């Protein structure tokens, strides 16, 4: 009898294992979206160091990668997961795509640590590049360090020179950073878990995939920081 009940118990554990794993992954994605919204609010709201809201209003896409891992000595490697949203044709923000960013360098850095990353895609050409399964920043789309502060001169220069603008925060220090050489791609597994079915990057970012439940906190943060204004 004991062996029979033990077998039943094992069968039950294996039967419920996929559901348990799915729940854990859903929680991980929900946490990533919540933390991304918090990082976005904090980096946008930094006194005299935040991103100019006019740049945000002009942006086609917004990407946030919290706690990006880096190991560097002058030039270094990096890896992180975050979320990306783009404007639909109506100006409404798309559902979030879970993205991975890898490789490249941050410029002059020594040591290891974690960095919060915020980047804006400023035109349709840059947005179109994001639809690919993988692209290289600086190669497939031009990029530069985003300007700190809120001056018209910095905005004009940034808009003329780059398709992607990027900022970082590490240990409370804010900086514009170059993502030259980094690769960016959607995380298909996490997006499958987030949306409950297979979905492409293009379907997500063009609004053909409905926003998943539990992602409202991200759109509240975008609206709070003035990103609700439609450009099209």
Angle at 225 between CA 219 and CA 230, to 5 degrees: 70
Split at pLDDT 50, 70, 90, the class of 80 is: confident
List, in order, residues 6 or more apart from 217 with CB less than 8 Å away.
Answer: 33, 34, 37
What is the dihedral sign for C-alpha 26, 22, 98, 85? negative
pLDDT tens, position by position, 105-142:
554 443 445 789 999 998 888 888 888 888 888 777 77
Task: Tally Cβ neighbours within 10 Å of residue 41.
Answer: 16
The residue that leads in pLDDT, 21 or 54, is 54
Q: Write the pLDDT tens digit of every residue in 90-104.
A: 889 999 999 998 876
Which range is most confident: 31-40, 128-137, 175-184, 220-229?
31-40
Q: Which two tokens stand for residue 92?
A: 């409404």
At residue 153, the pLDDT reads 53
Q: What is the 3-state secondary structure (H, E, C) of 179-223?
A: CCCCEEEECHHHHHHHHCCCCCHHHHHCCCCCCCCCCHHHHHHHH
DSSP one-letter string for 158-176: HHHH-SEEEEEEETTEEEE
pLDDT of 33 over the 80 cut: yes
Q: What is the model's pTM?
A: 0.79
Name which of 106, 99, 108 is nearest 66 in CA terms. 99
Residue 180 has pLDDT above 70, yes or no: yes
Mean pLDDT check: name the lowest of 1-10, 38-47, 55-64, 180-189. Answer: 1-10
Query: What confidence tens digit (pLDDT) does each residue in 37-74 have?
Result: 999 998 888 776 777 888 888 899 999 999 876 544 44
Across the chain, mean pLDDT equals 77
Among 146, 143, 230, residue whose Cα is nearest residue 180: 143
Residue 11 CA to its chain's centroid (Å): 39
């Amino acid at each position: 009898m004991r062996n029979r009940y033990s077998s039943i118990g094992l069968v039950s554990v294996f039967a419920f294992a996929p559901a348990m794993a799915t729940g854990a992954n859903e929680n991980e994605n929900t946490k990533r979206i919540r933390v991304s919204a918090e990082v976005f609010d904090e980096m946008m709201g930094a006194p005299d160091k935040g991103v100019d809201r006019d740049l945000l209003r002009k942006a086609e896409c917004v990407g946030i990668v919290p706690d990006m891992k880096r190991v560097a000595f002058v030039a270094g490697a990096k890896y992180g997961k975050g979320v990306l949203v783009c404007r639909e044709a109506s100006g409404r923000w798309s559902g979030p795509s879970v993205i991975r960013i890898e490789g490249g360098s941050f410029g002059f850095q020594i040591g290891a640590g974690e960095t919060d990353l915020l980047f804006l895609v400023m035109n349709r050409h840059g947005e179109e590049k994001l639809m690919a399964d993988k692209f290289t920043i600086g190669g497939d789309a031009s990029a530069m360090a985003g300007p700190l502060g809120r001056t018209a001169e910095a905005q004009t220069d940034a808009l003329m020179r780059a398709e992607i603008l990027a900022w970082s925060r590490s240990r409370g220090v804010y900086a514009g950073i170059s993502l030259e050489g980094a690769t960016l791609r959607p995380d298909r597994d996490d997006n499958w878990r987030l949306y409950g079915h297979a979905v492409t990057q293009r379907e997500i970012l063009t609004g053909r995939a409905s926003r998943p439940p539990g992602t409202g906190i991200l759109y509240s943060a975008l609206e709070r920081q003035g990103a609700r204004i439609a450009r099209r």
